[in-house]
Chain A
């Protein structure tokens, strides 16, 4: 037995009874440490609190966190080429997982086999439903990109935006807007407000004129738009009064509105869902892979995903976790109304068509950049 093994064995003995009550199956031939990659910040903290700390307390496994999710795909490709995979588990968004899966950099998994069934008895595949976007993906949370607006704009004369298309309504809602410097989401929103039905979106976009039509709609507010490339920019601009409305991630708006009490409110109309989840790098040695699978079984069960919502306003990807979502760990705010997956917030929503974007990203991006530069 290695020194580390001894340590973890003594840690096990010393554990309080409460933690032991949670019976974790033993892990055979498993590594004693894990390198987990995530986004840093509040989101990573929520993962540490909800899954990693309880797991470490029960098993004595040591975690190393790497805040590289932003460039995970590029780094994993480089690691793969160098033949030295140093990461055990990587947190990525849906489209990135598709890329990793396509490139053979992420391991294909059968989630019904490796994950726990839902508390309500549903199989993982039923429980995670739409969030399983490909064969490599193990979803955790649903987040959305949506709109925040200032509540004290004098020129609006008391009107408040109640739907997405207020974005394009410069007459009733004058002022600067903040939008992401990428075509994704923007062109879908533009088409929705140009009268395209949700179901027809990608059919329209696939035609020659589709993208042009979306850009023409965006043209109407182009002069009033400031573009962002980091998620923190819109909340900052809203708080500073630099813009009157803008798109960003719902968790960011939660912190501006609830935690910082700024004169800002948010719209859930046509929020664009995206998923955040784990992928396992292809080519892990057996003991590390065993450890990762053992951890994942624990970290993605119904209770753990519900626990995560105590620390961040992103919705659990499991349907069975929804009823267990409780209050914020520090603020004591009821979290359910702030979840993108809350039925009340989910009346109109979009999910990006990952396949369409994988095919068309290059051209649309080039077209969009050229349009921005005009």
Chain B
């Protein structure tokens, strides 16, 4: 062997470096393994991981405010919520257009529900405002119409604001419809999607923007024709605002047709009677006259919010920063603590009760132990609800256990024990339900411990206790670890048993999550609570791994 080959890379038979050749072989192997699990992996990703990730994502998602009120969210940024005054006309006008568009899409009540999580009363406020907002701008509509009846004509509006290419498409569509009608054929062709005239949008930005929303809403709602419906009154408000804001020179850049319509209007708006937006909103509901509602909208206008997470830990996001919830409404931290403490108690009870049974199972002759195993598994196969209801019959004050205790004379009739609808009930019922999850891993680990070890210890002079504690027990620890992890993780997310036997003091955080998912519909908060619960479980798992080592866990 030469010096060069000794220090150079080791080569395989075909001359490639051995390392690379090995990697290639391994990669092929890994790929094959991956291909084998691919169907399951894809299935789990699609049906399990993705929905959970999507659900958890809702805990920070808050697009609904900026999607429903895009102009308001923009306009309200500059407003100072500490000014003591509600925002000015710019914000109110933006809000009016946003609201009418939202009402048309039936989004405003949804937004009201969302914002009601942050401030009571907004749900009905938005519902009420939705009913009144369509009238805002009517004064301007009437004044424009008085000036020139053309302003009430749907076709003229569409012509003014549409791109010439859309007008051509629309004319063709109308011709096709007329032809179909005379021929008696059905006509289901949709109206061409509205396109805005960019020149006009430069000159009259607010109006064009509002009109575009109007046209889209009309088209979206059972495929209407924007050229057949006069715009919403709030669009006239936008027109008024645009015309009062621009100089006459801007209109001169437009085509003759538009000039003929806009020039007189531009001249006339100066003498128009003004509508007092602030007063109109105060009339709809006096809440709009106060800064608090606006401050809530401002605070929750960003697309992502920490609000749900803050609520989940008994804090609250306000315009002035994060504050603590009022003391009499704090429940979540307490529920998290209770869930953890009770799950640990249930886990401990399962170890204490499960260990001797598993020991017996592992050490009795096969025939007896099989019978015992069936007794362990029988309740395991019984419906969860049946078992929980059975516990109700047993534990209630007029139930079997109390009756027996009274009959024996251990407790007297007036002092019957309260064993259900409190934490005791939850711990008893859940320990029973989760016990098989402790016994089975313990049993399978104990089965593998050779009896000769204990015999050897005893032959060397160990007492029964020493032989058990120093020799047998350490070998069964992996089973305890596995059982504990199983029981604890199942317990922490348990929902139906605490709901039925837990009363008020024995319910878990999962009961609140279920409440927010199916009753209050506050999915954001439910997602935040769920995320925290998941994080707690992962943190505990990690701690367990650091302290005991997850490789020591043995499911048998």
Contact = CB atoms under 8 A, between A and B. Distances in A.
Interface of A: 70-71, 73-74, 77, 99, 101-104, 176, 181, 226-227, 229-230, 236-237, 240-242, 355, 358-363, 365-367, 369-373
Given A240-B398, A359-B123, A373-B331, A102 B112 contact: yes
Nearest to B117: A362
Contact of B398 (A71, A229, A241, A369): A241
A229 B121 CA distance: 26
A181 B331 CA distance: 15
A360 B120 contact: yes
Given A367-B329, A370-B328, A373-B504, A74 B518 contact: yes
29 contacts: A71-B518, A73-B521, A74-B517, A99-B113, A102-B109, A102-B110, A102-B113, A102-B127, A103-B109, A176-B397, A226-B503, A229-B500, A237-B396, A240-B398, A240-B399, A358-B116, A358-B123, A358-B124, A359-B123, A361-B520, A362-B117, A362-B522, A366-B325, A366-B329, A366-B331, A367-B328, A370-B330, A372-B504, A373-B504
A373 B508 CA distance: 12
Contacts of B317: none
Nearest to A241: B398
B499 interface: yes
Given A73-B518, A370-B329, A363 B396 contact: no
A355 to B, nearest CB: 5
B505 interface: yes
B533 to A, nearest CB: 17
B77 interface: no
B181 interface: no
Contact of A359 (B124, B328, B396, B512): B124
B530 to A, nearest CB: 14
B504 A362 contact: no
Interface residues of B, number: 38
B456 interface: no
A70 to B, nearest CB: 7
B398 A99 contact: no
Contacts of A229: 499-500
Contact of A242 (B113, B396, B499, B517): B396
B476 interface: no
A359 B334 contact: no
B117 to A, nearest CB: 6
B107 interface: yes
Contacts of A236: 392
A226 B397 CA distance: 11
B421 interface: yes
Nearest to B329: A366
A370 B331 contact: yes
B106 interface: yes
B217 to A, nearest CB: 13
B504 A70 contact: no
A369 B331 contact: yes
B285 to A, nearest CB: 12
Interface in B484-537: 499-500, 503-505, 512, 517-518, 520-522
Contacts of B520: 361-362, 365
Nearest to A75: B518
Listed residue (A77, A360, A361, A369) with the most chain B CB atoms within 10 angstroms of its CB = A369
A370 B325 CA distance: 12
Nearest to B326: A367
A73 B521 CA distance: 8
Contact of B503 (A99, A227, A361, A369): A227
Contacts, number: 86
Contacts of B112: 102
A333 B280 CA distance: 58
Nearest to A72: B518
A359 B121 CA distance: 5
A-B residue pairs, 4 tightest by C-beta: A102-B109, A104-B106, A372-B504, A71-B518
Contacts of B518: 70-71, 73-74
Contacts of A103: 109-110, 113, 521
A73 B522 CA distance: 12
A340 to B, nearest CB: 24
B521 A363 contact: no
Nearest to B389: A236
A319 B116 CA distance: 36
Interface in B324-343: 325, 328-331, 334
B396 A240 contact: yes
Contacts of B122: 359
Nearest to A240: B398
A218 to B, nearest CB: 12
A229 B507 CA distance: 12
Contacts of A358: 113, 116, 123-124
A227 B124 CA distance: 30
A358 B329 CA distance: 18
Listed residue (B113, B329, B503) with the most chain A CB atoms within 10 angstroms of its CB = B329
B116 A359 contact: yes
A362 B512 CA distance: 12
Contacts of A363: 120, 329
Contact of A104 (B110, B325, B503): B110
Contact of A77 (B117, B121, B334, B521): B521
A166 to B, nearest CB: 21
Contacts of B504: 181, 227, 372-373
Contacts of B105: 104
Nearest to A229: B499
A70 B109 CA distance: 22
Nearest to B105: A104
A372 B507 CA distance: 11
Given A104-B106, A227-B421, A359-B122, 7 more contacts: A104-B110, A229-B499, A240-B399, A359-B123, A359-B124, A370-B330, A371-B328
B310 to A, nearest CB: 14
B108 to A, nearest CB: 9
A75 to B, nearest CB: 9
B199 to A, nearest CB: 36
B306 to A, nearest CB: 18
A13 B398 CA distance: 59
A101 B110 CA distance: 9
Contact of B521 (A74, A240, A241): A74
Given A102-B109, A102-B123, A373 B396 contact: no
Contacts of A77: 521
A176 B334 CA distance: 27
Contacts of A74: 517-518, 521
Contacts of A240: 396, 398-399
A373 B117 CA distance: 22
Given A70-B518, A77-B521, A370-B328, A242 B398 contact: yes
A371 to B, nearest CB: 7
A237 B397 CA distance: 10
Nearest to A95: B519
Nearest to B54: A81
A193 to B, nearest CB: 21
Nearest to A215: B328
